[in-house]
A and B are shown apart, each in its own frame.
Chain A
Amino acid sequence: MTSDNPENALQRTALHDTHVSSGGRMVPFGGWDMPVQYPSGILAEVKAVRTATGVFDVSHMGRLYISGPKATEFLDWVLTGSASTLRVGRARYCLICNEQGGVFDDTIFYRLAEDRYLLIPNAGNRPTVVAWFERWIEDRFPLGCNMDDVTESTGLIAFQGPGTLAAIDELADKPLSKIRPFSWTEGAINGAPVFAGRTGYTGEDGFEFMVQGPDIVKVWTTLTDSGAVPCGLGARDVLRLEAGLPLHGHEIDENITPIEAGLDRFVRPDGEYVGSGILRGQRENGVTRKLIGFTLPGRSAPRAGYALLHQGETIGSVTSGSYSPTLDTSIGMGYVLERYAETGATLDLDIRGRTSQVTIAELPFYKRSRNS
Chain B
Amino acid sequence: MNSPDDRRYTAEHEWVMVEDAASKTAVAGITDYAQDQLGDIVYFELPKVGDAVAHLGKMGEVESVKAVSDLFSPVDGEVTEINEKLLDHPELVNEDPFGEGWLIKVAIGDVTAVDSLMSAQDYDAYTAGL
A residues touching B (Cβ–Cβ < 8 Å)?
A: 25, 36-37, 41-43, 234, 238, 298-301, 303, 322-323, 325, 352, 354
Contacts and interface: CB of A to CB of B under 8 A. Distances in A.
B66 A299 contact: no
B45 interface: yes
Contacts of A37: 39
Given A238-B65, A323-B65, A352-B68, A299 B39 contact: no
B83 to A, nearest CB: 16
A323 B66 contact: no
Contacts of A300: 43, 45, 63
Interface string B26-67: 000000000000011011010000000000000001010110
Contact of A301 (B39, B63, B94): B63
15 contacts: A36-B66, A41-B94, A42-B39, A43-B65, A234-B65, A298-B43, A299-B42, A299-B43, A299-B63, A301-B68, A303-B68, A323-B42, A323-B43, A323-B63, A325-B65
B63 A42 contact: no
A41 B43 CA distance: 16
Interface residues of B, number: 12
B48 to A, nearest CB: 14
Given A323-B65, A352-B61, A352-B68, A301 B42 contact: yes
Nearest to B66: A234
Interface string B62-89: 0101101000000000000000000000
B97 interface: no
Given A37-B39, A323-B63, A352-B61, A299 B90 contact: yes
Given A36-B66, A299-B43, A323-B63, 16 more contacts: A41-B40, A41-B94, A42-B39, A42-B65, A42-B66, A43-B40, A234-B39, A234-B65, A238-B65, A299-B90, A300-B45, A301-B43, A301-B63, A323-B42, A323-B65, A354-B45
